Amino acid sequence: MEEKIYKTMFLRRRFCKRVALVAVVFSLAYCLATLLLGDIRTPRVMSLTDLNRCPACYGISICPELYSSQIILDWQTLPSMFNAKNIFSGVTKSDRRVVLKKLAHNWELNEFDSKLCKEFNLKRNCKPIQLLNVTNFDEKIIKLVEYNLTWPDVEPRKGLVLCPYAYSVYDLLVPVLTKKKPAMDMINIWTMLSINPEPIIIQVIPKSSGWPVPAYAGVCGRLEVVAYEGESLSSLTHIPWHRKLRIAKKILDAAMDFTFKHDRFRFYLMDWSLDNIVANDKDEITFVDLEDFVVLDKHISPGKDLPDWYQRYGREALGPGFTFSIENMCKHHLSDHNLWAACYILAGDDNPFLYPIPKEVQTSRPHFDRLLNECLNGIDRFKTITTLQHLISDMLSDEKIVGRDAVANMIR
């Protein structure tokens, strides 16, 4: 009898231990999910927005869609939840893929917040909502742009450089400003210029006007939502060479567009790389990291501080790879920076996208390699790149190079 009672007590204790273990595991899992994703009763994507930091945020234009779960995180790509760059995959209710970006590392956002109260002479533990009482945001934006024109030794630049004169920033911002909430807009703009100006850039030069940037969906708190535009070129090095050639043509076209297409400004992209350019299944390209730009107002009236304004600035031999002079770009009405950078990722000495060139191309178009080299090391890149564009167009219509099917598809 005692043995039976002991066995019953042993089984009961073992059952209780298992129940307790399951409860502990469930509690830990719940706490971890809540810590990473916020309250599970609310749309999980909302926990990424940091809405409590508004108006020191990017805006609220897409918050209703996020809160009503019109856009949700893509759990098939769950590992991206733990990435250091704060870039996440999402999907809409209509099954369109999107990319959600916080536009900074966590430590950068924390550092920004730690300086916020002091920046505006507010109390040490001020709340972001108190920024609505600040009246000098116009002046703050000008000072921020002017700071980026200098050569600071202690603090780095903060993304966007607008030159040669800071006052041009308000003409640049026209597509971003709204008439409904001008005060809120200025706080949001100052925040984006301080953290990452990408949402500003992709509204100034939108996808809908033919610019090779992501389609902009909106912002919510400190989260930007853009369309998923394809795979990075660094992961497409295995594709057939004729597809690379088609992509190369569009990269050269983009370099010319950034330099000439806008009526008022030139856009010199500072971060050209195969990682920052993506392509879709139609070989259409998009530049996806738009944080570092030099934006030049080409319609200013130059002062005595710009004696060489009407001369072209050609890239100097400053060293291997991406070395350039922002100061010199800003002192001339036109620079060949984008052209050189485009040719460098196609034919430079760091994993060139177009190399090795097939033997049949080397035989039938021996001047192609020479033109690429001239674009990198020659004097007149504007002339060279125009010749390259025409040559590549001719090559893309040659069945011997791209194949009959590829030519037929282009005609369609």
Q: Which token pair is 268?
A: 């010199």
Does 212 sit behind a cis peptide bond, omega within 30 degrees of 0 on the bond before it? no
Q: Which domains are present in the chain?
A: 42-228 (no CATH), 232-411 (1.10.510)
| Angle, helices 337-347/381-396, rounded to nearest 10 degrees | 50
Main-chain dihedrals φ then ψ at residue 280, nearest 5 degrees: -95, -170
Q: How many angstroms separate the Cα of 388 from the Cα of each of 249, 318, 339, 360?
A: 8, 25, 11, 18
pLDDT score of 83: 62
CA 390 vs. chain centroid, Å, equals 30
> pLDDT truncated to tens, each residue of the chain (412 aa)?
545 544 444 445 554 445 444 444 444 443 444 444 444 434 588 999 999 999 999 999 999 999 999 999 986 654 444 566 799 999 999 999 999 999 999 999 999 999 999 999 998 889 999 999 888 888 889 888 887 776 555 555 666 889 999 999 999 999 888 766 677 889 999 999 999 999 999 999 999 999 999 999 999 999 999 999 999 999 999 999 999 999 999 999 999 999 999 999 999 999 899 999 999 999 999 999 999 899 999 999 999 999 999 999 987 765 556 667 888 899 999 999 999 999 999 999 888 999 999 999 999 999 999 999 999 998 899 999 999 999 999 999 988 888 755 554 554 4
Cα(173)–Cα(190) distance, integer angstroms: 11
pLDDT score of 183: 77
Residue 224, strand partner residues: 101, 219
Residue 231, strand partner residues: 279
User: Residue 83 CB: number of other CB atoms within 10 A?
Assistant: 10
Main-chain dihedrals φ then ψ at residue 50, nearest 5 degrees: 55, 45
Please name the residues in contact with 205: beta carbons below 8 A apart, sequence gap of 6 or more. Answer: 211, 213, 262, 267
Cα(311)–Cα(295) distance, integer angstroms: 18
Residues making up the chain, counted from first to last: 412
pLDDT score of 106: 93
CB 65 within 8 A of CB 233: no
User: Residue 296 CB: number of other CB atoms within 10 A?
Assistant: 24
pLDDT score of 109: 95
CB 254 within 8 A of CB 268: no
Cα(213)–Cα(276) distance, integer angstroms: 11
Cα(169)–Cα(291) distance, integer angstroms: 16
Residue 171, strand partner residues: none
Residue matched to tokens 């809409």: 92
- The dihedral formed by the CA atoms of 328, 331, 335 and 337, expressed in degrees to the nearest 10: 30
Written in H, E and C, the secondary structure of 36-74 is: HHCCCCCCHHHHHCCHHHCCCCCECCCHHHHHCCCEEEC
